[in-house]
Amino acid sequence: MSDLQLSLIGIGVLVVAAVYLVNFIQQRRLRRDTEKAFRDKPEDALFRRESEEPGDAPPRVEPTLQPAAPVEAKPPGRRPVPLSPADPEIDYIVELTPRDPVKAEAMMPALQRRVDFDKPARWFGLNAQSETWEEIQAGRAAVYSSLQGALQLANRAGPVSLLKLSQFRDLANEMAQKLEAVADCPDVDAAQARAMRLDGFCADVDVVMVVNIVSKDGAAFAGSKIRALAEATGFRLDPDGVFRFPEEEGGVLFSLANQEDAPFDPAVVRTMTTRGVTLLVDVPRLSKAQRAFESMVETARGLCASLGGVLVDDNRVPLSDVSVRRIRDQLQSLCATMDQHGIPAGSERALRLFS
C-alpha cells in the first residue's frame, strides 16, 4: 500500500472521529438543558411507587362539581317613563318640565282656555305618585312631575290655523314661566304644514255610503209607519230626529234620516209625511264598515218592501246587485287606504279626526 493511500485512510478516520465527538458533545448538552428545565416538575401520582408515603408527593385531587357561585343581582334601574296619551301623529304637542312637581290646580289657567283654539286641546300630567300619565282635570288632587299639552291638528271642520297653533304655543310658554318649568314647543309652521297634509288625507277618505228609499209615483210615506217599521227593525229615534241602529260595542252601525229638510222630530213624527228616506254608513268611524254596509243594504231592502218604495242610489238610479258590488269594492279600497296611513277606520285616531 502506498504512502498516499495510507495518508488518505488516516485522514478519513480522523474526520469520522471528529463527527462522532461533536455529536456526543451536543447530545450531552441537550440532556443537561432538558433536565434543568424539568428539575422542579411535580411527580405524576399515577407513577408513584406504592412504597412511597403519601407525603412524598402532592395527593391527587379528584375532580368534583362545585356549586355555581350566586349571580349578584343588579340593582333595578329607573323604570322607563310611560307614553303619554297625546298622539304625535295628529296632535301638536308641547312639553313642560317643571323644576318641582306641580299640583293639578296650578294648571287651571291652561284648562280654562281649552276651547280657545277651534280644535280639541288637552293637557296631560305624569302623576308623581303612580308614574302614569293622566288627563288633568279641574279639582283633581294630584301632583305631576311632567306636563304635556296637545292641540289636535285637524277634524271634519278642517285643519288648525297657524294663528291658533301660535296661541297654543304662547300659552305653553306662559305656563312655563308661572310654573318655573322648561318649555319644549315644536315649530308651529311645520305643525301647520302637517295639519294641512292630514286634512287633505281626511278629505279623501271621508266617505259616507248611502242608499235611498223613495216613494212610487210621488206618493208619500207616513211618518208613523216609518217610525213603527224602523223601531221594529232595531233603530232608535234620537232627539236630533235621526234613527240610529246601535252597534254591539255601543256605537252606531248605520243611520236613517229624512231625505227632506225636516228631521223626524219625536214630537211630530206621527203626523208628518215624506217622499223618501236615506240610510247611511259613516265609513271612517266604523271598524267593521264593510259588515255595516252589508247589514244596511239588507235592512234597506226590508224597509223598502214594507213601505212599497224603490231602492235607489244618490243619483236616484235603482240599486242593482252590480251597483252594490261596486260600492263594496270601493269601500274595501277605502278601508285599505286608511290602514296604510296608520288611521284604521273606527280607531281612536279616526274617531278623533272624523268628529
DSSP string, 123-176: EEEEETTT--EEE--TT---EEEEEEEEEE-EETTEEPPHHHHHHHHHHHHHHH
Judge whether residue 68 has pLDDT over 80: no
The pLDDT score that the predictor gives to residue 35 is 52
Range from 16-20, 115-119, 206-210, 227-231 carrying the lowest mean pLDDT: 16-20
Domain boundary among 203, 235, 254: 203
Say what the pLDDT of residue 253 is.
95
Comparing 135 with 49, the larger pLDDT belongs to: 135
| Residue 224 confidence (pLDDT) above 60 | yes
Looking at the predicted structure, is the pLDDT value of residue 215 above 80?
A: yes
Domain count, the chain: 2
pLDDT of residue 74: 42
> 299 with 175, same domain?
no
Q: Which of 203, 226, 260 is the last residue of a domain?
A: 203
pLDDT in tens, 275-305: 999 999 999 999 999 999 999 999 999 999 9
Residue 249 has pLDDT above 80, yes or no: no
Q: Are 120 and 225 found together in one domain?
A: no
Residue at 133 is within a domain: yes
Whether pLDDT at 203 is above 90: yes
140 and 177 both lie in a single domain: yes
Which structural domain, as residue segments, surrounds residue 241? 206-353
User: Which three cell numbers mark 74?
Assistant: 343588579
Instruction: Please say if the pLDDT value at position 166 is more than 90.
Output: yes
Q: What is the pLDDT of residue 14?
A: 63
- 66 vs 82: which has the higher pLDDT: 82
**pLDDT at 44 > cutoff 90:** no
Of 149, 172, 203, which marks where a domain is finished? 203
Q: Does residue 85 fall inside a structural domain?
A: no
Domain membership flag for residue 341: yes
Shared-domain flag, residues 194 and 288: no
CATH number at residue 172: 3.30.1400.10
How much is the pLDDT for 87?
Answer: 96
> Do residues 349 and 214 both lie within one domain?
yes
Q: In this predicted model, which residue has the larger pLDDT, 47 or 127? A: 127
Residue 141: what pLDDT?
86
Do 210 and 339 belong together in one domain? yes
* Residue with the larger pLDDT of the pair 178 and 66: 178
Asked whether the predicted pLDDT for residue 1 surpasses 80, the reply is no
pLDDT in tens, 79-103: 555 678 999 999 999 999 999 999 9
The reply to whether 155 falls in a domain is yes
Name which residue leads in pLDDT, 70 or 316: 316
Q: What is the mean pLDDT of the chain?
A: 85
Rounded to 5°, the CA angle 24-28-31 comes to 140
Q: Tell me, yes or no, whether 115 and 223 share the same domain.
A: no
Residues 341 and 217 in one domain: yes
The reply to whether 339 and 226 lie within a common domain is: yes
CA 109 from chain center: how many Å?
32
pLDDT of residue 131: 93
Grid cell digits, residue 248: 254591539
Write down the pTM of the prediction.
0.72
Task: Give the whole-angstrom CA distance, residue 275 versus residue 215.
Answer: 5
Per-residue pLDDT, averaged over 188-209, amounts to 97
Measure the CA–CA gap between 17 and 20, rounded to whole angstroms.
Answer: 5
pLDDT value of position 354: 97
5: left (phi over 0), alpha (psi -120 to 50) or beta: alpha
Quote the CA–CA distance of 260 and 35 in Å, as a whole number.
118
Q: What is the per-residue pLDDT for 37? A: 47
